[in-house]
Amino acid sequence: MAKLTLTDVTKRFNDGGDDIVAVDEASIDIDDGEFIVLVGPSGCGKSTTLRMIAGLESVTEGTISLDGAAINNRKPADRDIAMVFQSYALYPHMTVRENMSFGLEESTDLPDDEIRERVEDAAHMMGIGDLLDRKPGELSGGQQQRVALGRAIVRDPSVFLMDEPLSNLDAKLRAQMRTELQRIQEDLGVTTVYVTHDQTEAMTMGDRVAILNDGKLQQVATPLEAYHEPANQFVASFVGEPSMNFFETEFQDDRLVHDNFEYPLTEDVREKLGDTGHVTLGIRPEDIELVDTVDGDHDFRTVVDVVEPVGSGNNVYLAFEGTEGDTTELDLDESDIEGESRTFVATIGGLRQVEAGQPAIARIPEEAIHLFDSDTGQALRNRSLENAELVEPQV
Ligand code: ATP
């Protein structure tokens, strides 16, 4: 077990032309036993970061250390790190048992008995104890992934690195493996860095998530902090499904002025804005309420554009009444509208019936809004969690 630290780690590739900065001064402290998820869109530098930790890619600048000792120049085999790949990377001509024991036979002088015991324990833990004599070609994708994970477990490493290990599995199996992997990681207590582009996976699995964009670390936080207290607009939009709604506004006197609405702010909130002029208002879909009557300055007349039922709830796409998104009055082609989306989305309970074309009143409560500097994207004010409820069963 180990504490893994990245200090100002940069990776530049040079393909003959300009340098590509794949990772730009990333610093993360990963605690002993922690499960951290590196998440971000395609090409943001996740795999490169992982490969530098594994020693498969050199570090251009900065330091990677394990328990305080720099490992930049240590060979991959000497790092005491086990990596699991998306492709499983199993040897096709070897049985499951051979695949799992191969690394130990090559890199340690453990006696055969102990190797056998470790392989059998790991196979049992991964639920593949009865598959030890099969070859990878005789296994399903899910079983092959279990073998790949089992092979990492037998090595009893200080750190696990996992690069999208579940992405070849179908949705149901993926969800099941997520929970299983979390349990195993917790039982083993091995420091783990897990890469995914899937924000749901990141939010459900990580003790903390490290969100990357364009080689730059945007925020390292617990999943709930990233969701409710995003450092910037990128994090706010990346985390959460459906995504947070954003409206570009001008801050004038005591209110935010948008093309389609005005949103007055109380003094407490105004103070957070200082003299910022361009302010982006963000609101999560589940924080928008559909109410019966207009009862204040934060209730807006809208028209339902599309309803997407998702079983437990409905995603209701709304357009401000009388705007280009309100297709009940205007005959506009989608391509006529540029920039910000013409609709915004609210999620409501699955048993509430709403229909396209119907008028609706959307309440955007001030305690739930996020405000960002439109020029820099930095968060100026996040949702208030003062009214968050702690569930305490009465015994
Ligand atoms: P994905 O989710 O698509 O795998 P990623 O977040 O893992 O993406 P990386 O594979 O780390 O992203 O790539 C980061 C950037 O570095 C990309 O712009 C990529 O094109 C570039 N890159 C990666 N490897 C090399 C290489 N060997 N030579 C040149 N550029 C590279």
Is 225 found in the same domain as 283? no
Candidate of 46, 49, 195, 213 to mutate for ligand 1, largest count of ligand atoms within 8 Å of Cβ: 46
Residue 390 inside a domain? The answer is no
Ramachandran region, residue 351 (left: φ > 0; alpha: ψ -120 to 50; beta: rest): alpha
Q: Other CB atoms closer than 10 Å to residue 209's CB: what's the count?
A: 29
340: confidence class by pLDDT, cuts 50, 70, 90 = low
335: confidence class by pLDDT, cuts 50, 70, 90 = very low
Is 186 found in the same domain as 249? no
Is 265 found in the same domain as 127? no
Give me ligand 1 centre to Cα 212, in Å: 12
Residue 48 inside a domain? The answer is yes
Residue nearest to atom 24 of ligand 1 (CA): 48
Coil, strand or helix: which one is 172?
Answer: helix
344-349 vs 379-381, strand pairing mode: unpaired
Question: What integer pLDDT is reported at residue 81 of this predicted model?
Answer: 92
156 vs 71, more confident: 71
Q: What is the mean pLDDT of residues 39-51?
A: 95
337 vs 279, more confident: 279
| Side-chain half-sphere CA neighbours of 119 within 13 A | 23
Given a cut of 70, is residue 339 above it in pLDDT? no
Given a cut of 80, is residue 197 above it in pLDDT? yes
Q: Which domain holds residue 254?
A: 244-381
Q: What is the mean pLDDT of residues 308-314?
A: 89
Tokens of 202: 């990141």
Contact between 90 and 148 (Cβ < 8 Å): yes
3-state secondary structure 21-45: EEEEEEEEEECCCCEEEEECCCCCC
Is 59 found in the same domain as 125? yes
Looking at ligand 1, which atom is closest to the CA of residue 197?
2
Residue 224 inside a domain? The answer is yes
Residue 175 inside a domain? The answer is yes
Is 221 found in the same domain as 134? yes
Task: Give how far Cα 131 sits from Cα of 137, 141, 277, Å.
Answer: 12, 13, 64
Give me ligand 1 centre to Cα 173, in Å: 27
Is 250 found in the same domain as 284? yes
Alpha-carbon gap, residue 356 to 123, rounded angstroms: 53
Alpha-carbon gap, residue 43 to 59, rounded angstroms: 18
Residues 6+ apart with CB under 8 A from 218: 40, 211, 212, 231, 232, 234, 235
Is 218 found in the same domain as 259? no
Is 249 found in the same domain as 196? no
Short-list 354, 365, 339, CA closest to 309: 354
Looking at 209, 234, 259, which one is the last position of a domain?
234
Q: What is the mean pLDDT of residues 297-315?
A: 92
Alpha-carbon gap, residue 66 to 79, rounded angstroms: 9
Residue entry with tokens 């990333």: 26
Tokens of 332: 């506009």
CATH number for the domain spanning 136: value is 3.40.50.300
Residue entry with tokens 């996740």: 46
Q: Other CB atoms closer than 10 Å to residue 91's CB: what's the count?
A: 12
**pLDDT tens digits along 26-44:** 999 999 999 999 999 999 9
Task: Give how far Cα 125 sits from Cα of 175, 184, 284, 331, Å.
Answer: 18, 8, 40, 60
Alpha-carbon gap, residue 190 to 157, rounded angstroms: 8
Looking at 234, 267, 282, which one is the last position of a domain?
234
Ligand 1 pocket, residues with Cβ under 6 angstroms: 13, 15, 20, 22, 40, 42-48, 197
Question: What integer pLDDT is reported at residue 282 of this predicted model?
Answer: 97
**pLDDT tens digits along 288-302:** 999 989 999 999 999
Candidate of 10, 20, 164 to mutate for ligand 1, largest count of ligand atoms within 8 Å of Cβ: 20
DSSP line for 164-229: STTTTS-HHHHHHHHHHHHHHHHHHT-EEEEEES-HHHHHHH-SEEEEEETTEEEEEE-HHHHHHS
Residue 281 inside a domain? The answer is yes
Give me ligand 1 centre to Cα 47, in Å: 7
Is 177 found in the same domain as 31? yes
Short-list 283, 358, 377, 371, CA closest to 319: 358
Give me ligand 1 centre to Cα 215, in Å: 9
The mean predicted confidence, pLDDT, of the chain is 89
Q: Other CB atoms closer than 10 Å to residue 252's CB: what's the count?
A: 11
Residue entry with tokens 């783990």: 192
Is 144 found in the same domain as 104? yes
Given a cut of 70, is residue 333 above it in pLDDT? no
Give me ligand 1 centre to Cα 45, in Å: 6
Looking at ligand 1, which atom is closest to the CA of residue 23?
14
256 vs 332, more confident: 256
Provide the number of structural domains found in the chain. Answer: 2
Residue 122 inside a domain? The answer is yes
Is 230 found in the same domain as 303? no
Give me ligand 1 centre to Cα 15, in Å: 12
Residue nearest to atom 25 of ligand 1 (CA): 13
Looking at 234, 261, 293, which one is the last position of a domain?
234
327: confidence class by pLDDT, cuts 50, 70, 90 = low
387: confidence class by pLDDT, cuts 50, 70, 90 = low
Residue 8 inside a domain? The answer is yes
Contact between 24 and 76 (Cβ < 8 Å): no
Residue nearest to atom 26 of ligand 1 (CA): 13
CATH number for the domain spanning 280: value is 2.40.50.140
Report the predicted TM-score, pTM, of the whole model to 2 decimal places: 0.89
Is 217 found in the same domain as 85? yes
Residue entry with tokens 């790991």: 122
- Based on DSSP, count helices (H) and strands (E) in the chain, helices before strands: 9, 21
Percent of the chain with pLDDT over 70: 94
Residue 59 inside a domain? The answer is yes
